[in-house]
Amino acid sequence: MKYVIYFVMLLLLLSTNSYAQCYDVFGREADCPTENDSLVIYSNALKVYEFYEKNPDYTKLKSIRLKTKQDVMDCFYQLENALDSFNIRWQLRERVLNGEDIPSVLMTRDGKNINKEDYYQYIDSYRFYQRELENGILNISSPFPIYDIRISPLLVNSYENRLSNDEYNGDFVNVALYVPVTVKPYNMLSDSERVIRAKILEGRFPVVIKKELPKKKKVVIPKVKREVKDTSLLENANITYVPPAFEKGPYYTQPPYGALPFYFYNYYGAGALGGYMIGRKFRKVLPTDEYYWAVPEWIKDLLKDNKKLEQYLIITLGNYYEGIYE
């Protein structure tokens, strides 16, 4: 009898595992990451984290904590946008190397183009290698970060190389990081590491509990009989419905769903958000947008001059560009 019970329990366990479902950071159904998947991310995270945190050549400027699921999604969207930006820069460098005169293109110090494989490498449908969110200067001697869209990074850190005698002087790094102890397979953690991990992850991705709102009292509006005495003005009139104006409130204008952030770069390789690509059209960052305050003045001046703006967009995007989104 005990063998029958054991068999039933084993069957239930197997059936439960077969229906186990995981999701990636975008909320899409995905294969659950295995212990080995976590171990790969952990081993890589150790190298990347220690390289920047313990490297005297790089000074940490700031650290941003990814607190919510939306923060993590935005981080991966930024990685996608950084790859698009790198590909555009790579194509522009190729055009310069083929003899075109494009003054705004930032070339490498050795006058050569950067190998695409040094910035990004596809592994499979879940994992990829990608250097960083900035690609003006690439330190290819640094560990190559690996990302898994089923496993959430915890930080986006900024570093800068300020050594005047270093070949990577001026290298600004904006990199998404996994904190090693948070991705290390759980059964490999020591007791002290489990305490540290729990403290780091405490309160992350809080569950939103819907509270029942108090019921509103029903307001009875007395019916009023309205009579129109003179109908001569209404006969055969071409009446157009005008919707009531919305009340003004603390709301920001937002680009349409699916719009891709577009970054402007100056001669020194420093980049900042200046608009969005909606299909092949460029939509400016508006003064009513939430992050307009963070747009540098040189980009704001460029956005005000449509002629110069068009020149920049044509040089950067080529035939892909189809005009300014109104």
Same domain, 56 and 167: yes
Same domain, 65 and 166: yes
Residue finishing a domain among 157, 178, 201: 201
The per-residue pLDDT for range 211-246, each reduced to its tens digit, is 344 454 554 545 444 444 444 443 444 433 333 333
Q: Pick from 40, 39, 20, 38: which is nearest to 30 by CA?
A: 20
Q: Pick from 193, 192, 159: which is nearest to 179 by CA?
A: 193
Structural domain of residue 266, as residue ranges?
260-320
The per-residue pLDDT for range 57-108, each reduced to its tens digit, is 888 988 999 988 888 999 998 898 888 888 888 888 888 888 888 766 676 6
Q: Are 167 and 136 in contact (CB under 8 A)?
A: no
Position 127 scores a pLDDT of 94
Residue 230 included in any domain: no
The per-residue pLDDT for range 90-104, each reduced to its tens digit, is 888 888 888 888 766
Q: Which range, 27-36, 86-95, 261-270, 285-294, is most confident?
A: 27-36
Bridge partners of 281, per DSSP, are 278
Same domain, 282 and 164: no
pLDDT exceeds 50 at position 146: yes
Position 277 scores a pLDDT of 85
Q: How many domains does the chain have?
A: 2
Residue finishing a domain among 154, 179, 201: 201
Same domain, 41 and 181: yes
Residue 222 included in any domain: no
Same domain, 72 and 180: yes
Same domain, 57 and 162: yes
DSSP 294: G
Q: Are 147 and 166 in contact (CB under 8 A)?
A: no
Same domain, 50 and 181: yes
pLDDT exceeds 60 at position 166: yes
Same domain, 194 and 265: no
Residue 100 included in any domain: yes
Residue 131 included in any domain: yes
Same domain, 79 and 164: yes
Same domain, 189 and 292: no
Residue 285 included in any domain: yes
Position 177 scores a pLDDT of 94
pLDDT exceeds 90 at position 150: yes
Position 47 scores a pLDDT of 92
Same domain, 43 and 117: yes
Position 130 scores a pLDDT of 93
The Cβ-side half-sphere exposure at 185, using a 13 Å CA radius, reads 11
Position 76 scores a pLDDT of 92
Residue finishing a domain among 171, 201, 231: 201
Same domain, 195 and 276: no
The per-residue pLDDT for range 195-207, each reduced to its tens digit, is 999 988 886 654 3
CA distances from residue 295 to 35, 90, 94, 271, 284 in whole angstroms, order as listed: 42, 25, 29, 10, 11
Q: Are 24 and 126 in contact (CB under 8 A)?
A: yes
Residue 212 included in any domain: no
Residue 264 included in any domain: yes
Q: Calculate mean pLDDT across residues 135-155.
A: 86
pTM of the model: 0.57
Residue 216 included in any domain: no
